[in-house]
Amino acid sequence: MEYNVIDIIVLVFVLLVLGNGFRKGLIMSLFDLVGLIASFIIAWNYYYLVKDFLVDRTGLVDFINNNISSKISDILAEFPGKDLDLGSIFNGFGKLPFDMQRIMEDFIQSSIKDTAVDYAQSMSDKITNIFIIIISFTVAFLIAYLILMIVAGVLNIMFKAPVLNMANKLLGGLFGLLKAVVLLYIVFAIASPFIAMSEKENMFTTEILESKSSEVFYENNLILNYLTYKGVLAE
């Protein structure tokens, strides 16, 4: 596996965030990283509020469900019978974290007794739920992070630190690097349902899956592994 354009994009992103951390110094970079972790914890505890809003107040669930149901119905028509190998149908399924693959396969087994129509609907309901959980978690995370960054900006103005020395900047760069890694895990976690369900002919997701970066941030995504371990994605 060679480095490709996705790896270059990831590297440029890491360097930009690292440089930003170097510029801001230790204090703000540390607050930035702590803000990411705190936002994750807040999102973990309150994502269900966003999920309830999306389910009750928007048409997003129906939109996703209808699209997935249509795709699964097409697959059932193309691959008669219920012994489906998702890895041979979807581009990114085979490289999902193992526990997520197991959840998806369990969905198939739990629906296998249904008629073709019910089978497609049952599968789409469960996959839609995974989409909604990930979207809800992401929205809750972004809201919490935005609020914390506003607070950080206000504090930075109120308590302006002295001119930053080189050691402070280097430590800021280090925390900027850690922030970049955390953000990449988040981005790949958000994109995982779309990558996993993409068609074999999709060149963009193929480029992602063939990148060195996907080995770390997609195949072994710490956020997806954590959510799977906690049973959130199997609700």
Convert the pLDDT of each residue in 137-155 to its tens digit.
989 999 998 898 888 777 6
Task: Give the Cα separation of 231 and 224 in Å (integer).
Answer: 10
Separation between Cα atoms, residue 139 and residue 146, nearest integer Å? 11
Higher pLDDT, 176 or 164: 176
**pLDDT, average across residues 113-123:** 64
Q: Which of 143, 128, 129 is nearest to 231 (CA)?
A: 129
The residue with tokens 């890694």 is: 181
Q: Please state the rounded mean pLDDT for residues 24-46.
A: 83
Place of tokens 């990558």: 195
64 contact partners, CB below 8 Å, separation of at least 6: 128, 131, 132
- The confidence score (pLDDT) of residue 140 equals 93
Place of tokens 């690292």: 18
DSSP state of 97: -
The pair of three-digit structure tokens given for residue 188, joined into one six-digit string: 């790949």
Residue 227's nearest CA partner among 143, 138, 94, 147 is: 138
Tell me the pTM: 0.66
* Backbone angles phi and psi of 231, in degrees to 5: 80, 10
Provide the 8-state DSSP code for 188: H
pLDDT of residue 50 exceeding 90? yes
Q: What is the pLDDT of residue 111?
A: 59
Three-state secondary structure call for residue 15: helix
Beta bridge pairs of residue 199: 90
Average pLDDT taken over every residue of the chain:
78
Burial 223-235 (b: 16+ CB within 10 A, else e): bbbebbeeebbbe
- Across the range 156-172, mean pLDDT stands at 63
pLDDT at 53: 93
Sign of the alpha-carbon torsion through 105, 214, 194, 201: negative
- With beta carbons less than 8 A apart as the criterion, state whether 99 and 227 touch: no
Tens-place pLDDT, residues 218-234: 888 888 888 777 776 66
* CA terminus-to-terminus distance, the chain: 36
**Mean pLDDT score, 201-219:** 86
